[in-house]
């Protein structure tokens, strides 16, 4: 090997701060060739992808709207991943939460229900998400079935379940039999925070959740357990921490947050239930969780950053007439560079002169 | 600090002066499109894209078009539509039902922008709706199918139960029943718009169960290919699929959006755009049948005659009495045929379909 | 009720049914086999869907231009391997988090395949030829199942058998498994952990690319962006289902394929079951079967290779 990776003695703060900038620069340099081939200006790409969305109030608001469910889901997932519990079913828990909360909205639609409806919807969504997440958790704890598979398969089940409800019994009676519920009453809707923007109180809820989880992880016994089980499972076992209980707990919290995110999304930006309510938030949030290094503040930043790349990508489609596929390539390459730069915080690359050949011990 | 304020104020005054003095150049009309799928889907979105390309060919130097593809029907769509409105697009086409409420919401914020929503039913002063009377084509296909089928069993591949799909099935059966009153249809829901492999599987299943004419309300040529493999017949959908089944395709229903797009864009250019509801069929060429192939001349003649009759208005696929699966006669609100509202919201199978309608 | 059951049984026990199930399960089997080897060496590559769709786009493009299925298949393999190489460089070379990198790979692959395939939409090619042996293919029942498939299917059989032999009957396979079960010890013994993992990841990529190429070359001979439609994720799930064992992988792949095709076929019988219920059957079936299998083995937890997904940076 000519290049070898070596762990740094201390994580480099310089790279920690500079890494996003370096990543963006490297991405533009790489994509410059691609852009040149199709006749676009890479500098314009920088402006359109990153600067414009940040400088424009509308786009900024939209980034927040998009980042809200991502952050909420990712923070729950981070709990699971820290404990080495692999919840891949966040998307399904999101949908189930949306469905459960929507049930109340549909039931009380048109009646003169009071302001209790919305909080009740949020509670229902949270509970339903938690219960749905407990299914893979119980399968793992009781039967030893891999939670990766069960949680993922249940995503599809949730999707088809919701599809059935929305196309069937929950259809809007005045909707000409098209597959949506009636628009939610105002008491069942999350109001926007500012005039003219779609930013809604769900964002505040998400921020609160992030703070709560940060406190829990850092300052409670449960949080300590979670971190210990992930880092040193044997030590945790010896300390008397029950691994099974942790699996159930982290899945339940994660599912609860996913469900909450789901009903918030439906009661807020959308305003009714339909077959398509998520562009894959549950899966994108996995990226956010790891980009944020499973750390609450990191997740906030990563969620915002990833949402920025989506909005910026759309900007590029409009302003530069770039096809969606190219924005996906851009996004993928950017993620690679961000992850790589991130890695350089903990490791450094060294040039090794002379190669030492490995000899198997029993040769 | 004071100096800075003076400089900024001066710059601002200059800018305003410059802006008011500069005469606006003859600007191109910006037209935007929101697509549900990728333009390469060879189906629904592909045909809208063809429409857009033809629009550019027709009005090239007067307009500047933009499209956004794979726009999810959830919260993303409202943002995408609004982004087009904010960036100076004065005419925006949103090409899927699920964009209905987002379109209305954005339209309320941008009264000077004109919106065209496909397959929806909500309108506003600046929102029109448009769609195609695909059921007219289905009726003809049903007749052809019944003529060409030896087993008397038709295979229907569909994605999701929406009224347009249901009216398509019904029109097919009604057309088929004029030739063979005992025609049977097998319906398979693949629950996706974008999985050719599943469509192929559904086609194989239908063929295995005795269907010898395949129809589809899904987007890809997979079923056509299976039909070609098995030596049975099939109908293309959205696009002409003859090259995937040169000996199998009988005809296809082609979505022909270009004339509508050109007309509406011209309306905006001429300042004569008004909110309308356009549900065009064979007569207005929004729906076009691919050439009738692989059938004997008498069937060809039957098809063309029926097409002519529908265009002339003398034949309506849903002419009364229409009897539903349970044997009840459906109320006839359109005089001698079901009215548009009933067809648009159709939620029952006609007599002759043995399957149960999903989600009732 | 009994009549319906009879109809369903009649469906299942037919040659056409078995043939279609084999064909439908082949991309799952091919992709999952490769991913099994990668994961058995300790690397979790979530980019299977991205590698598959790249294989589909490049494979179709190559086959269209060269009018040859073999060229298309080879290009599909190369495309998948190339994507895997990027992944290997990042996760093995730079110790980047595997989960995030794999997901980013899927995004890149989806976008890149769309760009490459854009020019080929609506084109048709000659589909991969199916085997025809004079007497054997004509045999009743077994004839077409055993002797009438296309090359991809036969290759998938050979592949999984080959992988099984490799993992359990060769020294290299043993080393590979050791590397995953405890990479620190393996390194201490002098085995080139990173190199072994890299080869495994490239192999996995090649298989995924081939699986993707199968779709537009044999299954439905045309290209549409996104035609893999999530099969990469199912393949990943199947590797977990199989508990990283080749035998169970075959069972899982065909189980999934069978239930998927079965739910479509049963709809044609007009029994009136809501299609959404039918569509969720393959996923429910997989969960139920997994729970049952895991119960019989005892609640010992999923037997994941111990170092799966764990970053390994050798100290010198």
Q: Supply the mean pLDDT for chain C.
A: 88
Q: How far apart are CA B245 and CA B213, in angstroms?
A: 13
Question: Residue B160 is nearest to which of A62, A167, A278, comparing CB atoms?
Answer: A167
The pLDDT tens digits of the residues spanning B54-82 come to 999 999 899 999 999 999 998 899 999 99
The span from the CA of A206 to the CA of A224, in Å, is 22
- B76:A270 CB<8 A: no
Size of interface A-C (CB pairs under 8 A): 171
**pLDDT > 90? residue C183:** no
Instruction: Name the E strands within chain C.
Output: none
Strand positions, DSSP E, C129-238:
none
Average pLDDT in the A296-322 region? 92
In C, minimum Cα distance to B354 occurs at C270
Q: Are the Cβ atoms of B191 and C124 closer than 8 angstroms?
A: no
Q: Of the candidates C95, C190, C313, which has its C-beta nearest A361's C-beta? A: C190
Would you state the structure tokens that stand for residue B197, as one six-digit string?
Answer: 């492999």
Residues of B in contact with A312 (CB under 8 A): none
**Distance, in angstroms, between B139 CA and closest chain A CA?**
22
pTM for this model (two decimals): 0.90
Structure tokens at C87: 């992944």
Q: Quickly list DSSP for B322-358.
A: -BBTTSPBPP-TTSSB--HHHHHT--SPBTT--SPPT
Instruction: Please give the Cα distance from B191 to C273 (Å, whole number).
Output: 14
Q: What is the pLDDT of residue B10?
A: 52
Q: Å from C119 to nearest chain B CA?
A: 9
Q: How confident is the model at residue A353 (pLDDT cuts 50, 70, 90)?
A: low
Q: Within a domain: residue A267? A: yes
> Would you say residue A56 lies in a domain?
no
User: Is the residue at C264 inside a domain?
Assistant: no
CA distance B68 to chain A (A): 7
Q: Is A42 exposed, middle or buried (0-12, 13-18, 19+ CB in 10 A)?
A: middle
Residue A143 lies in a domain: yes
Rounded to 5 degrees, φ, ψ at B84 are -65, -40
Mean pLDDT of B217-241: 93
Residue B3 has pLDDT above 90, yes or no: no
Residues of chain A found within 8 Å of residue B101, distances taken between Cβ atoms: 180, 183, 271-272
Residue numbers of the domain that contains A267:
76-291
Residue A348 counted as domain residue: no
Say yes or no for a CB contact (<8 Å) between C224 and B187.
no
pLDDT of residue C300 exceeding 50, the answer is no
Written out in words, the top-level CATH class of the domain with range B134-255+286-344 is alpha beta
pLDDT over threshold 80, residue A354:
no
Residues of A with Cβ-Cβ distance to C99 under 8 angstroms: 286, 290
Residue C285 reports pLDDT greater than 90: yes
Helix axes C246-268, C15-40, angle to 10 degrees: 140
Give yes or no for a contact between C87 and C101, defined as CB atoms under 8 angstroms apart: yes
Residue C300 is assigned to a structural domain of this protein: no
In chain B, which residues have their Cβ closer than 8 Å to the Cβ of C124? 221, 243-244
Match domain B29-132 to its CATH number in 3.30.420.10, 3.40.50.2300, 2.60.40.10, 3.40.50.300: 3.40.50.2300
CB < 8 Å to B162, chain C: none
For residue C100, give the nearest of C313, C252, C311 by alpha carbon.
C311
Contacts of A64 by beta carbon, 8 Å cutoff, 6+ apart: A199, A203, A304, A307
Chain C residue numbers with beta carbons less than 8 Å from the beta carbon of A335 are: 100, 103-104, 107
Question: Measured between beta carbons, which residues in chain A are less than 8 angstroms from residue C276?
Answer: 160-161, 163-164, 167
Q: Say if residue A356 is exposed, middle or buried (CB neighbours under 10 Å; 0-12, 13-18, 19+).
A: exposed
| Cα(A72)–Cα(A209) distance, integer angstroms | 7
| Closest CB to C16 among B204, B244, B356 | B204
How many CA atoms within 13 Å lie on the side-chain side of C65?
Answer: 14
B77: closest CA of chain C, how far (Å): 20
Distance CA B134, CA B310 (A): 12
Is A248 inside a domain boundary?
Answer: yes
Closest CA to A307 of A54, A39, A35, A2: A54
Residue A168 to residue B358, Cβ atoms within 8 A? yes
The pLDDT, as a whole number, for residue C299 is 42
Tell me if A62 is assigned to some domain: no
List all residues 6 or more positions away from A200 whose beta carbon is below 8 Å from its beta carbon. A65, A68, A190, A191, A192, A193, A264, A268, A269
Residue among A160, A171, A318 minimizing CB distance to B83 = A318
Contact: A272, B160; criterion CB under 8 Å: no
Quick check: A48 and A41 in contact, CB under 8 A? no
Question: How close C274 comes to chain B (CA, Å)?
Answer: 5
3-state DSSP call for residue B249?
strand
B136 neighbors B114 (Cβ within 8 angstroms):
no
Domains: count for chain C: 1
Q: What is the pLDDT of residue A1?
A: 46
Query: How much is the average pLDDT of A315-325?
Result: 90
Joined together, the tokens standing for residue A200 give: 């809604």
A69: closest CA among A268, A336, A214?
A268
- Report residue A95 as tokens: 């949908």
Cβ atoms B322, B277 nearer than 8 A? no
- For residue C304, list chain A residues with Cβ-Cβ distance below 8 A: 146
Interchain contact, C276 vs A163, CB within 8 Å: yes
- DSSP category for residue B91: E
Residues 6+ apart with CB under 8 A from C85: C202, C205
Q: Taking phi first (over 0 means left), then psi (-120 to 50 degrees means alpha), and beta for anything else, what does residue A197 get? A: beta
pLDDT over threshold 70, residue C38 = yes
User: Residue B109, SS3?
Assistant: helix
In this prediction, residue A357 carries a pLDDT of 54
**In this predicted model, what pLDDT tens digit does every residue of A21-65 receive, in sequence order?**
888 888 888 877 777 777 788 788 888 888 889 998 999 999 999
CA angle C31, C32, C35 (to 5 degrees): 90
Nearest by CB: A265 against B69, B75, B341: B75
* Contact between B160 and A275 using a beta-carbon 8 Å cutoff: yes
**Average pLDDT estimate for C248-253:** 94
Share the mean pLDDT of chain B. 90
The residues with which B65 forms a beta bridge, in sequence order, are B31
Q: Which H/E stretch holds residue A217? A: helix A201-219
**Residue C288 is assigned to a structural domain of this protein:** no
CB B84 within 8 A of CB B98: no
Is the residue at A29 inside a domain?
no
* Cα–Cα dist C104/A291, whole Å: 11
Which helix (H) or strand (E) segment holds residue C149: the answer is: none
Alpha-carbon span B150 to C228, nearest angstrom: 35
pLDDT at C182 over 70: yes
Contact between residue B75 and residue A269 where contact means Cβ atoms under 8 Å apart: yes
CB contact under 8 A, B163 and A178: yes
Split at pLDDT 50, 70, 90, the class of B278 is very high
- Per CB-CB distance under 8 Å, the chain B contacts of C231 are 197
Cβ distance of A323 and B69 shorter than 8 Å: yes
Looking at beta carbons, which residues of chain B come within 8 Å of C20?
A: 201, 204-205
Residue of B nearest to C23 (CA): B201
What mean pLDDT do residues B235-244 have? Answer: 92
DSSP code at position C93: I
Chain C positions touching A291 (Cβ under 8 A) are 100
Q: What is the pLDDT of residues A155-196, one digit of tens each?
A: 999 999 999 999 989 999 888 888 999 999 998 999 888 877
Residue B49, min C-alpha distance to chain C (Å): 13
Domain ranges of chain B: 29-132, 134-255+286-344
Task: Decide the pairing of beta strands B114-118 and B127-132.
Answer: parallel
Task: Rank A173-177, A257-261, C217-221 by mean pLDDT and report only the highest.
Answer: A257-261
Contact across the interface for B40 and C114, Cβ inside 8 Å = yes
Q: Flag whether A161 is in a domain.
A: yes
SS3 of chain A: helix, strand, coil, percent, to 5: 70, 5, 25
pLDDT at B17 > cutoff 60: no
- % pLDDT > 70, chain A: 95
Indicate the DSSP class of residue C123.
-
Inform me whether the pLDDT recorded for A10 exceeds 50. yes
Cis peptide leading into B321, omega within 30 of 0?
yes
How far apart, in whole angstroms, are the C-alpha atoms of residue B360 and residue C274?
10
CA distance C295 to C297: 5
Q: Is the dihedral of CA A189, A194, A196, A199 positive or negative?
A: negative
Asked if C124's CB is within 8 angstroms of B243's CB, the reply is yes
User: Which sign, positive or negative, has the C-alpha torsion A213, A217, A219, A224?
Assistant: positive
Smallest CA–CA distance, residue A8 to chain C, in Å, is: 11
The SS3 assignment for B67 reads: strand
Lowest-confidence pick of A275-284, B281-290, C122-131, C253-262: C122-131
pLDDT computed for residue B349 by the predictor? 93
Using the structure block, give the residue that is written with the tokens 């952990």.
Answer: C193
Q: What percent of chain A has pLDDT over 90?
A: 52
Whether B316 and B162 have beta carbons less than 8 Å apart is answered as: no
Q: What is the per-residue pLDDT for C303?
A: 56
Mark yes or no for CB contact C272/B356 under 8 Å.
yes
Closest of C284, C259, C46 to residue A135, by C-alpha? C284
Contacts of C88 in chain A (CB under 8 A): none
- How high is the pLDDT of residue B21? 43
Q: How far is A86 from chain B (nearest CA, A)?
A: 27
Q: Are C121 and B195 in contact (CB < 8 Å)?
A: no
Q: Best residue in A276, A310, A320 to probe B by mutation, most B CBs within 10 Å?
A: A276
Strand partners, B129: B117, B277
Better-predicted residue by pLDDT, A9 or A326 = A326
On the CB side of A86, CA atoms within 13 Å amount to: 18
Examine residue C141 and state whether it is found in any structural domain, yes or no. yes
pLDDT band at residue C7, thresholds of 50, 70 and 90? confident
Min Cα–Cα distance to chain B from C23, Å: 9
User: Which residue of A147, A161, A346 is in closest CB contact with C276?
Assistant: A161
Locate the chain B residue with the closest alpha carbon to A321: B66
> Mean pLDDT lowest for which of A303-317, B62-76, C121-135?
C121-135
**Number of domains within chain A:** 1
CA distance B319 to chain A (A): 20
Tell me what the mean pLDDT of segment C205-219 comes to: 95
Q: Which residues contact C59 (CB under 8 A, 6 or more apart)?
A: C72, C73, C75, C76, C79, C209, C212, C213, C216, C217
C97-111: per-residue pLDDT in tens? Answer: 898 999 999 999 999
Q: Looking at the complex, report in whole angstroms how far the Cα of residue C240 sits from the nearest Cα belonging to chain A.
A: 6
Output the six-digit token pair for C98: 């595997």
Task: Please list every residue in chain C whose beta carbon sits closer than 8 Å to the beta carbon of residue A290.
Answer: 97, 99-100
Which tokens is B219 given?
Answer: 């987007």
Cis? peptide before B343, omega within 30° of 0: no
Q: Which of C221, C229, C261 sits opposite B205 (nearest CB)?
A: C261
Residue B210 buriedness (CB in 10 A; 0-12 / 13-18 / 19+): middle
């Amino acid at each position: 090997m000519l290049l070898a990776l070596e762990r740094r003695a201390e994580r480099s703060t310089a790279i920690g701060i500079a890494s996003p900038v370096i990543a963006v620069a490297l991405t533009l340099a790489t994509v410059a060739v691609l852009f040149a081939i199709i006749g676009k200006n890479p500098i314009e790409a920088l402006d359109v992808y990153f600067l414009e969305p940040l400088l424009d109030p509308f786009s900024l608001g939209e980034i927040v709207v998009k980042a809200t469910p991502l952050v909420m889901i990712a923070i729950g997932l981070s709990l699971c991943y820290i404990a080495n519990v692999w919840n891949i079913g966040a998307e399904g828990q999101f949908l189930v939460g949306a469905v459960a909360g929507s049930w109340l909205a549909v039931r009380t639609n048109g009646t003169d229900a009071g302001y209790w409806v919305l909080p009740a919807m949020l509670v229902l969504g949270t509970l339903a998400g938690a219960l749905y997440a407990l299914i893979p958790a119980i399968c793992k704890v009781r039967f030893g079935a891999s939670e990766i598979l069960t949680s993922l398969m249940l995503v599809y089940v949730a999707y088809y379940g919701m599809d059935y409800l929305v196309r069937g019994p929950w259809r809007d009676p005045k909707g000409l039999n098209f597959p949506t519920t009636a628009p939610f009453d105002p008491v069942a809707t999350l109001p926007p925070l500012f005039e003219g923007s779609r930013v809604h109180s769900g964002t505040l809820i998400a921020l609160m959740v992030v703070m709560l989880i940060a406190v829990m992880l850092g300052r409670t016994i449960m949080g300590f357990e979670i971190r210990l089980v992930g880092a040193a499972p044997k030590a945790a076992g010896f300390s008397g921490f029950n691994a099974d209980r942790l699996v159930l707990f982290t899945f339940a919290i994660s599912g609860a947050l996913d469900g909450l995110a789901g009903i918030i999304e439906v009661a807020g930006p959308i305003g009714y239930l339909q077959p398509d309510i998520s562009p894959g938030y549950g899966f994108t949030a996995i990226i956010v969780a790891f980009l944020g290094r499973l750390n609450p503040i990191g997740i906030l930043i990563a969620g915002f950053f990833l949402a920025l790349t989506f909005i910026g990508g759309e900007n590029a489609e409009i302003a530069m007439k770039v096809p969606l596929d190219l924005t996906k390539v851009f996004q993928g390459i950017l993620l690679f560079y961000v992850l790589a730069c991130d890695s350089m915080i903990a490791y450094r690359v060294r040039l090794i002169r002379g190669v030492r050949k490995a000899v198997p011990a029993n040769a | 600090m004071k100096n800075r304020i003076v400089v900024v104020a001066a710059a601002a005054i200059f800018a305003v002066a410059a802006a008011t003095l500069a005469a606006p150049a003859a600007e191109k009309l910006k037209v935007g499109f929101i697509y549900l799928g990728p333009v390469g889907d060879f189906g629904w979105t592909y045909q809208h894209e063809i429409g857009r390309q033809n629009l550019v060919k027709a009005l090239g130097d007067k307009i500047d078009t933009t499209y956004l593809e794979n726009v999810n029907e959830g919260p993303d769509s409202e943002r995408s539509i609004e982004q087009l409105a904010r960036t100076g697009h004065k005419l925006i086409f949103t090409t899927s039902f699920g964009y209905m409420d987002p379109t209305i919401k954005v339209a309320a914020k941008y009264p000077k922008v004109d919106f065209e929503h496909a397959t929806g039913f909500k309108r506003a002063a600046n929102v029109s709706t448009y769609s195609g009377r695909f059921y007219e084509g289905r009726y003809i296909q049903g007749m052809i199918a019944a003529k060409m089928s030896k087993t008397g069993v038709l295979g229907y591949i569909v994605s999701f139960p929406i009224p347009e799909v249901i009216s398509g099935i019904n029109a097919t059966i009604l057309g088929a029943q004029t030739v063979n009153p005992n025609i049977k249809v097998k319906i398979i829901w693949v629950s996706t718009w974008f999985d050719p492999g599943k469509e192929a599987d559904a086609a194989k299943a239908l063929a295995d169960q005795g269907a010898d004419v395949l129809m589809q309300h899904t987007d890809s040529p997979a079923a056509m290919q299976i039909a070609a493999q098995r030596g049975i017949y099939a109908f293309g959908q959205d696009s002409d699929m003859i090259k995937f089944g040169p000996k199998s395709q009988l005809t296809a229903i082609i979505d022909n959006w270009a004339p509508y797009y050109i007309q509406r864009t011209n309306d905006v250019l001429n300042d004569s755009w008004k909110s309308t509801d356009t549900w065009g069929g064979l007569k207005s060429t929004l729906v076009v049948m691919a050439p009738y192939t692989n059938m004997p001349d008498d069937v060809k003649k039957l098809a063309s005659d029926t097409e002519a009759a529908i265009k002339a208005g003398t034949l309506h696929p849903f002419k009364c009495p229409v009897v539903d699966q349970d044997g009840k006669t459906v109320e006839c609100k359109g005089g001698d045929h079901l009215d548009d509202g009933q067809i648009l919201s159709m939620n029952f199978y006609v007599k002759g379909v043995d399957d149960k309608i999903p989600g009732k | 009720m009994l009549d319906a059951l009879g109809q369903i049984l009649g469906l299942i026990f037919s040659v056409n049914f078995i043939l279609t199930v084999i064909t439908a399960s082949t991309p799952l089997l091919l992709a999952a086999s490769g991913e099994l080897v990668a994961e058995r060496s300790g690397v979790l590559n979530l980019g299977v869907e991205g590698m598959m769709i790249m294989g589909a786009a490049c494979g179709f493009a190559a086959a269209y231009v060269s009018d040859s299925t073999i060229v298309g298949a080879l290009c599909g393999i190369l495309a998948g391997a190339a994507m895997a190489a990027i992944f290997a460089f990042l996760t093995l070379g730079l110790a980047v988090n595997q989960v995030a990198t794999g997901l980013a790979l899927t995004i890149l692959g989806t976008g890149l395949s769309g760009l490459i395939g854009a020019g080929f939409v609506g084109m048709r090619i000659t589909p991969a030829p199916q085997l025809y042996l004079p007497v054997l293919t004509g045999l009743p029942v077994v004839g077409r199942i055993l002797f009438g498939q296309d090359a991809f299917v036969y290759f998938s059989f050979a592949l999984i058998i080959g992988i099984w032999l490799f993992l359990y009957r060769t020294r290299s396979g043993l080393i590979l498994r050791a590397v995953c079960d405890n990479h620190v010890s393996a390194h201490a013994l002098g085995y080139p952990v990173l190199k072994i993992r890299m080869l495994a990841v490239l192999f996995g990529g090649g298989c995924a690319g081939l699986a993707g190429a199968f779709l537009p070359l044999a299954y439905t001979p045309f290209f549409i962006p996104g035609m893999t439609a999530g099969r990469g994720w199912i393949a990943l799930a199947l590797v977990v289902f199989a508990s990283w064992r080749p035998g169970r992988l075959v069972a899982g792949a065909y189980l999934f394929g069978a239930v998927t095709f079965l739910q479509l076929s049963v709809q044609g019988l007009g029994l009136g079951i809501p299609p959404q219920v039918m569509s969720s059957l393959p996923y429910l079936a997989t969960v139920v079967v997994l729970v049952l299998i895991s119960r019989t083995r005892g609640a010992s937890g999923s037997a994941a290779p111990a170092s799966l997904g764990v970053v390994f940076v050798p100290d010198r």
